Amino acid sequence: MKYFLSIPILLISLFGTVVKAQANDTITAKIREEYSYERLFKNTVNANPSTRLGAGKYSLTAFSVWAETKDTPLQLKQKGNGQHLWGVEARTVQNLDDQTVVWGHAAYTQGKNKQVVWNENADYDRIYPYVAADSVGGDMRFENYSFSGGYSKQINTFTFGITGRYQASLSYRDTDPRPKNTAATFSVALGADQLMFKTLKIGAYLDAEKYTQKHYLSFVSNQGYPTIYTMSGLGNYNELLSGKLRQAYYEGWTYGGGIQIFEAERRNWYVTVGLKKINLDKLLTEYTDLHASTIDEHQVNISLGKFFGSGKLNWGLFADGSIIKRKGTENLFLNENSRNYIQIGSVEKYSHAVDHVIFKGLLQMNHKNAQSSWVPYFGWIREKEKYSSPLSLTDLHKIVYGADYQWLKTFNNSQTLSISMGLSATNVYRKNGTFNNSGKPAINQMLQENYAFQTSDVWQAKLDMQYHFNVPVIKNVFIGGKMMYSNFKNGSNTLFAATIGSLF
Report pLDDT for 413: 65
- The secondary structure element, H or E, covering residue 468 is strand 458-469
Distance from the Cα of residue 256 to its chain's centroid: 17
Quote the CA–CA distance of 231 and 241 in Å, as a whole number: 9
Burial class (CB in 10 A: 0-12, 13-18, 19+), 49: buried
Let me know: does 481 contact 495? Beta carbons within 8 Å. no
Helix (H, G, I), strand (E, B) or coil at 33: helix
Residue at 150: amino acid letter: G
Helix (H, G, I), strand (E, B) or coil at 78: helix
DSSP 76: -
Q: Domain residue spans in the chain?
A: 2-129+147-503
Contacts of 318 (CB under 8 A, 6+ apart): 41, 303, 304, 305, 306, 359, 360, 361, 362
Quote the CA–CA distance of 375 and 354 in Å, as a whole number: 24
According to DSSP, the residues that pair with 88 across neighbouring strands are: 65, 108
Quote the CA–CA distance of 126 and 332 in Å, as a whole number: 23
Contacts of 223 (CB under 8 A, 6+ apart): none
Burial class (CB in 10 A: 0-12, 13-18, 19+), 441: exposed
Quick count: other Cβ atoms within 10 Å of Cβ 81? 17
Helix (H, G, I), strand (E, B) or coil at 126: helix
Q: Alpha carbon of 289 to those of 182, 285, 294, 340, 426: distances in Å? A: 17, 4, 13, 12, 43
Let me know: does 465 contact 419? Beta carbons within 8 Å. yes
Q: Alpha carbon of 482 to those of 38, 184, 420, 478: distances in Å? A: 21, 30, 9, 13
Let me know: does 435 contact 392? Beta carbons within 8 Å. yes
Let me know: does 270 contact 319? Beta carbons within 8 Å. no
Quote the CA–CA distance of 145 and 184 in Å, as a whole number: 10
Helix (H, G, I), strand (E, B) or coil at 435: coil
Quote the CA–CA distance of 125 and 250 in Å, as a whole number: 13
Residue at 424: amino acid letter: S
Question: How much is the CA Rg of the chain, to the nearest whole Å?
Answer: 25
Report pLDDT for 242: 84
Quote the CA–CA distance of 330 and 236 in Å, as a whole number: 12
Handedness of CA 221, 222, 227, 229 (dihedral sign): positive
Q: Alpha carbon of 68 to those of 98, 201, 406, 492: distances in Å? A: 38, 40, 22, 17
Residue 423, CB-side half-sphere exposure with 13 Å CA sphere: 0
Give the residue among 447, 417, 416, 414 at the shortest CA–CA distance from 433: 447
Give the residue among 496, 368, 395 at the shortest CA–CA distance from 454: 395
Contacts of 226 (CB under 8 A, 6+ apart): 134, 135, 136, 177
Report pLDDT for 287: 80
Distance from the Cα of residue 451 to its chain's centroid: 23
Contacts of 445 (CB under 8 A, 6+ apart): none
Helix (H, G, I), strand (E, B) or coil at 10: helix
Quote the CA–CA distance of 124 and 112 in Å, as a whole number: 15
Quote the CA–CA distance of 496 and 115 in Å, as a whole number: 19
Quote the CA–CA distance of 304 and 324 in Å, as a whole number: 18
pLDDT in tens, the chain (504 residues): 444 444 444 444 444 444 333 333 477 788 888 888 888 898 889 999 999 998 888 888 999 999 999 999 999 999 999 999 999 999 999 999 989 999 999 999 999 999 999 999 999 999 999 999 999 999 999 999 999 999 999 999 999 999 999 999 999 999 999 999 999 999 999 999 999 998 999 999 999 999 999 999 998 877 777 889 999 999 999 988 887 678 999 999 999 999 999 999 889 999 999 999 999 999 998 888 889 999 999 999 999 999 998 778 889 999 999 999 999 999 998 876 666 788 899 999 999 999 999 999 999 998 878 889 999 999 999 999 999 999 999 999 999 999 999 999 988 767 889 999 999 999 999 999 999 877 789 999 999 999 999 999 999 999 999 999 888 777 788 999 999 999 999 999 999 999 999 988
Let me know: does 395 contact 421? Beta carbons within 8 Å. no
Quote the CA–CA distance of 98 and 93 in Å, as a whole number: 13
Report pLDDT for 341: 82
Quote the CA–CA distance of 463 and 362 in Å, as a whole number: 19
Q: pTM, whole model, 2 decimals?
A: 0.90
Q: Alpha carbon of 62 to those of 46, 104, 116, 287, 364: distances in Å? A: 19, 11, 33, 48, 25
Report pLDDT for 337: 65
